[in-house]
A and B are shown apart, each in its own frame.
Chain A
Amino acid sequence: MSSNPYHIADLINKHLTGTLTVQEEEVLEQWIAANEENRAAFEAIQSDTQARIDMDFFARLDMEQAWEKIARRPEKETGTGHALRRLGIAVAAVVFLAVVGGWWYGTTPKTDAPEVATANVTGNDVMPGSQQAVLKLSDGRTIDLAAGANAVKERDGTTITTATGELTYVNRQQPDETASMELLYNELRVPKAGMYNLTLSDGTSVWLNAMSELRFPTRFGNTDRKVFLKGEAYFEVAPDASRPFKVEANGTVVEVLGTHFNINSYNAVTTTVVEGSVKVIHAEKSELLKPGQQARVTGDIVVEPADMRKAIAWKNGDFYFRSDGIVDIMQQLARWYDLSVVYVGDVPYHKGYNGNISRDVNLSEVLDILGFATRATFKIEERKVTVQF
């Protein structure tokens, strides 16, 4: 695995000052021994003549003058910048693609697009995911929602209606009529390359991301509203002070009264609050989250500032990468385009990439841009993607 260059630079500085700890020295020595190039670079840093040339270079820079030049530039330069700047922008590591347009055009047929061959991508193209899910009723029957089902009635009188990509639960009975009735649970399963929106009987909206499952009662009881999540979902919880809403995901419980938040439990359970506040409970510990905060459960509950746009980009139909490593990015693509991923070459695991692009586009388009940012090339065979560095 490649090492973080900033960390190595730091270790070399410490080496120069003789302040390396034994462990650090080991890391540095491993890095030096990894290949001839590293050894040569390490030795060159300690060369007197070269270092003097470097110091002179720094001394010649006029930072104030340079800053004035930048500060004086007009805010936005479009078309007037010289070729270098335009090129720099075009191929900048961070490729920003704001794809404006409709986010969802109904159920996309799952046939794969024809062969592609761009600068960075070869093989058969893959269409984006679509609104598909399977609903499991309380009696065990399953309904494929992609096929376009009609209204269904549950045994407790709840009406379930489907529209394109949406599922709505309505129960018009009065709470006192249903108080003694047992809760009937349904399960909504969203496969790879899928996404689905669900409105629960209390009016709460839930968006389920690909490879996610929600288990919920067709109507809620009188004490609380509890659902069970696997994968990722965004909740807009209908306010109801008398019945807290609870989401259980992989041993963590998130408790709210009425608020908007995202839970990602693909890996460590991460809760991000958009509006209102939520309480995250795990193994007898709990933390209260405010808007703009997120909590990651990794044994402990770690509360940190959240990148809101990042947390809910998927719900708004975008991929949104911020300092994400190639493996993270490919995992997200794999869930949405239903892929398996193979890596070849010297994979820069430590590197982070930024960018956003609509989830509406074909795979080749996303990979082509990713190729510009990462300098990787991609080969698509059926649903297998080979990432070549």
Chain B
Amino acid sequence: MKEVYLFSADKLFRKYYARLCHFAWQLLGDEVMAEDIVQDAFAAFLERRHMVADKDAAIKSYLYTSIRNACHNVGRDAKIEERYFRLNPQVMEEESTVINKMIRSEVMNEVYMVITAMPKGCQRIFRLGYLEGWSNAKIAEKLQVSINTVKTQKQRGLKLLKGRIGPELLGAVLLCFIKFGVA
């Protein structure tokens, strides 16, 4: 029997891949392995998708939980055992620690989404300017544009953010950019 779902597989993948990788990365401290685990978990999810309620929250919980479990199992693998134990001193991490990592992945994903919603040109200048803390002059030199262009692009970026993203997220991005810039 062919089941019909609300979201296509690739839409779901695009929606959740980054935050799930971030979550697995927090648990394992290994980027490559984190991506492997998320890809495995997502493929396994697609195979038994008919068993998961066709709701955003159910799917998200399913994916987070299967990744958490897969990460725990990795912890049992001798090769990276040592590293895992160092990251997670209690072998079975306290549930609340895992949940707080999940919360972090959710929040950071949201912040990142706002950055990527900006047009590429602005994004680059924004990233360098606020994220990397570069001066206007340094950006201008790096991108081979005038300092004025950098300034205009920054302002344009702000305007676009205001127009496109809505007030509730705008603050978060600016706050984060500014904070990163200061760091």
Q: A67-B13, A94-B66 are in contact. Are A88 and B40 (CB under 8 A)?
A: yes
Interface of chain A residues 67 through 105 with chain B (CB within 8 A): 67, 69-71, 73, 75-77, 81, 84-85, 87-89, 91-94, 96
Contact check, B62 vs A88: say whether CB atoms are below 8 A apart: no
Contact check, A352 vs B58: say whether CB atoms are below 8 A apart: yes
CB-contact partner of A13 in B61, B102, B107, B182, under 8 A = B107
Please give me the 3 A-B residue pairs with the lowest Cβ-Cβ distance, nearest first.
A93-B65, A9-B106, A48-B183
Binds B, one of A55-63, A198-206, A278-286: A55-63
B53 interface contact, C-beta 8 A = yes
B27 interface contact, C-beta 8 A = no
Known: A54-B108, A352-B61, A354-B51. 5 other contacts (CB 8 A): A9-B106, A10-B106, A16-B171, A45-B108, A61-B17
Q: Which of A10, A48, A91 has the most CB of B within 10 A?
A: A48
A351 interface contact, C-beta 8 A = yes
Q: How does the 8 Å CB contact mask read for A1-35 relative to B, with 1 for contact and 0 for none?
A: 01001101110111011110000000000000001
Query: B residues engaging A (CB < 8 A)?
Result: 10, 13-14, 17-18, 21-22, 25, 31, 35-44, 46-48, 51-53, 55, 57-58, 60-62, 65-66, 68-70, 72-74, 77, 92, 94-97, 99-100, 102-104, 106-112, 115, 131, 167-172, 175-176, 179-180, 182-183
A49 interface contact, C-beta 8 A = yes
Q: How does the 8 Å CB contact mask read for A316-334 relative to B, with 1 for contact and 0 for none?
A: 0000001100000000000
Q: In the assembled complex, which residues on chain B have CB atoms less than 8 Å from the CB atom of A389? A: 95
Contact check, A89 vs B44: say whether CB atoms are below 8 A apart: yes
Q: In the assembled complex, which residues on chain B have CB atoms less than 8 Å from the CB atom of A268? A: none
Closest A residue to B42 by beta carbon equals A70
A344 interface contact, C-beta 8 A = no
Q: Roughly how many angstroms separate A162 CA and B46 CA in the complex, as a whole number?
A: 46
Closest A residue to B109 by beta carbon equals A58
Q: In the assembled complex, which residues on chain B have CB atoms less than 8 Å from the CB atom of A73? A: 43
Contact check, B100 vs A38: say whether CB atoms are below 8 A apart: yes
Closest A residue to B57 by beta carbon equals A6
Contact check, A16 vs B111: say whether CB atoms are below 8 A apart: yes
Q: In the assembled complex, which residues on chain B have CB atoms less than 8 Å from the CB atom of A375? A: 92, 95
CB-contact partner of B62 in A37, A69, A354, under 8 A = A354
Q: In the assembled complex, which residues on chain A have CB atoms less than 8 Å from the CB atom of B60? A: 6
Contact check, B100 vs A96: say whether CB atoms are below 8 A apart: no
Contact check, B51 vs A57: say whether CB atoms are below 8 A apart: no
25 A-B contacts, Cβ less than 8 Å apart?
A: A9-B107, A13-B111, A14-B168, A16-B111, A37-B96, A37-B97, A38-B100, A41-B104, A45-B108, A51-B179, A54-B22, A58-B22, A60-B31, A63-B14, A66-B13, A73-B43, A84-B74, A85-B44, A87-B70, A88-B40, A88-B44, A93-B62, A323-B61, A354-B58, A356-B51
Q: Roughly how many angstroms separate A93 CA and B43 CA in the complex, as a whole number?
A: 15
A348 interface contact, C-beta 8 A = yes
Q: Roughly how many angstroms separate A44 CA and B100 CA in the complex, as a whole number?
A: 10
Contact check, B103 vs A61: say whether CB atoms are below 8 A apart: no
Q: In the assembled complex, which residues on chain B have CB atoms less than 8 Å from the CB atom of A351? A: 61, 65
Contact check, B109 vs A84: say whether CB atoms are below 8 A apart: no
Q: Roughly how many angstroms separate A55 CA and B132 CA in the complex, as a whole number?
A: 11
Contact check, B17 vs A48: say whether CB atoms are below 8 A apart: no
Contact check, A84 vs B73: say whether CB atoms are below 8 A apart: yes
Contact check, B131 vs A35: say whether CB atoms are below 8 A apart: no
